[in-house]
């Protein structure tokens, strides 16, 4: 019988949640003022957002986990007896992490490596890792685990709105021209992570409050009549998002909503004030 090991990238935010320590985590790098930080290990979300709010013109960028570092994860898991690995990554449209994980898989022998593109980011990716580890502990096969991960991938949705277009422009997620006119008009785009794993604009709204209201209305309409696990993504706006949680529970009838911080290497591209609503359908 195969011994299956699970690993996930830190873009999932799994570091900020209770998780089975058997799950391996490979983390991206954040560069700030020319200094290198390993996500979560060297800098936590609250400290990161405090820094960029205090120094809005700070030079920041990110780098995905290198192929060599991912290979070390594989080798370490092989050394402790795993015969198959399931590696869960952020969407390949949001980072080169998936490609590096695939390359690393080709560089190791005598172990089967399944690299799974989550088509998403943040909590949904973390949930996939939790579910995969639970199934591995129950001696499920890799085929059974991957089939379940595909179901999660096909039954989730995340809405996001950003407070400023500045970081999307700075980090190449939005063209400079579009960003310039967006900032001039003070647009607050309503975004989604679509089924392909791309972040796309679905509406352009003039104020943060209107963007938040539109996101809430769409979310509530979409989950109506469905059994879902809901979550809120926050940055430096925990108190505001806590109020959003109360409103969401009152309006939707949900029993609980998970609060999820956006880890720095993802927040670097979204900026402070970013907020999101997401769900996974319980299947």
Query: Mean pLDDT over residues 207-231, rounded?
Result: 94
211 has a pLDDT exceeding 80 = yes
Q: What confidence score (pLDDT) does residue 180 get?
A: 47
What percent of the chain is predicted at pLDDT more than 90?
Answer: 80
Domain 156-281 belongs to what topology? Hypothetical Protein Tm841; Chain: A;domain 3 (3.30.1180)
- Is-contact 87 116, C-beta < 8 A? yes
Q: What confidence score (pLDDT) does residue 174 get?
A: 52
E strands in the chain: 4-9, 24-26, 29-32, 35-38, 60-63, 84-89, 112-117, 156-161, 188-193, 199-205, 228-234, 258-261, 275-281
Query: Mean pLDDT over residues 201-225, rounded?
Result: 92
Burial class (CB within 10 angstroms; exposed 0-12, middle 13-18, buried 19+) of 56: exposed
The pLDDT tens digits of the residues spanning 153-208 come to 999 999 999 887 777 666 555 544 454 445 545 678 889 999 999 988 888 888 88
Strand-by-strand arrangement of the 4-9 sheet? 24-26, 4-9, 84-89, 112-117
Give domain limits for the chain: 4-28+64-154, 156-281
The pLDDT tens digits of the residues spanning 39-76 come to 999 999 999 999 999 998 888 999 999 999 999 999 99
120 has a pLDDT exceeding 60 = yes
Domain 4-28+64-154 belongs to what topology? Rossmann fold (3.40.50)
Backbone angles phi and psi of 128, in degrees to 5? -55, -45
- The tally of CA atoms less than 13 A away on the side-chain side of residue 228 is 26
- How many Å apart are CA 13 and CA 191, to the nearest integer? 19
- How many Å apart are CA 26 and CA 72, to the nearest integer? 10
Reduced to 3 states, what is the DSSP secondary structure of residue 191? strand
Backbone angles phi and psi of 119, in degrees to 5? 65, 20
b/e code 118-143 from CB counts within 10 Å (16+ = b): bbbbbbbbbbbbbbbbebbeeebebe
Give the C-alpha distances (Å, rounded to integers) separating 116 from 119, 122, 271. Answer: 9, 15, 27
Bridge partners of 86, per DSSP, are 6, 114
Q: What integer best gives the mean pLDDT of the chain?
A: 92
Give the orientation angle of helix 238-252 with respect to helix 208-223, to 10 degrees. Answer: 40
- How many Å apart are CA 279 and CA 257, to the nearest integer? 9
Q: What confidence score (pLDDT) does residue 169 get?
A: 65
């Amino acid at each position: 019988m195969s011994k299956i090991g699970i690993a996930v990238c830190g873009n999932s935010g799994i570091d900020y949640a209770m998780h089975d320590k058997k799950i391996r985590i490979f983390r991206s790098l954040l560069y700030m003022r020319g200094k290198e930080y390993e996500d979560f290990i060297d800098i936590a979300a609250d400290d990161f957002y405090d820094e960029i709010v205090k120094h809005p013109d700070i030079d920041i960028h990110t780098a995905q986990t290198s192929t060599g570092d991912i290979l070390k994860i594989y080798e370490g898991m092989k050394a402790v007896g795993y015969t198959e690995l399931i590696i869960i990554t952020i969407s390949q449209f949001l980072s080169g992490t998936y490609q590096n994980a695939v390359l690393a898989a080709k560089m190791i022998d005598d172990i089967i490596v399944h690299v799974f593109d989550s088509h998403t980011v943040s909590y949904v990716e973390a949930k996939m890792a939790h579910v995969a580890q639970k199934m591995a502990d129950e001696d499920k096969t890799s085929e059974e685990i991957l089939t379940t991960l595909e179901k999660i991938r096909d039954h989730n949705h995340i809405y996001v709105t950003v407070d400023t277009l500045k970081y999307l422009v700075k980090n190449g997620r939005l063209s400079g021209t579009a960003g310039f006119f967006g900032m001039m008009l003070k647009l607050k785009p309503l975004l989604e992570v679509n089924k392909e794993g791309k972040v796309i604009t679905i509406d352009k709204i003039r104020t943060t409050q209107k963007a938040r209201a539109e996101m809430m209305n769409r979310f509530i309409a979409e989950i109506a009549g469905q059994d879902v696990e809901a979550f809120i993504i926050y940055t430096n706006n925990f108190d505001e998002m806590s109020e959003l949680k109360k409103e969401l529970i009152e309006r939707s009838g949900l029993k609980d909503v998970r609060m999820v911080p956006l880890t720095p290497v993802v927040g670097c591209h979204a900026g402070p004030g970013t907020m999101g609503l997401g769900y996974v359908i319980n299947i």
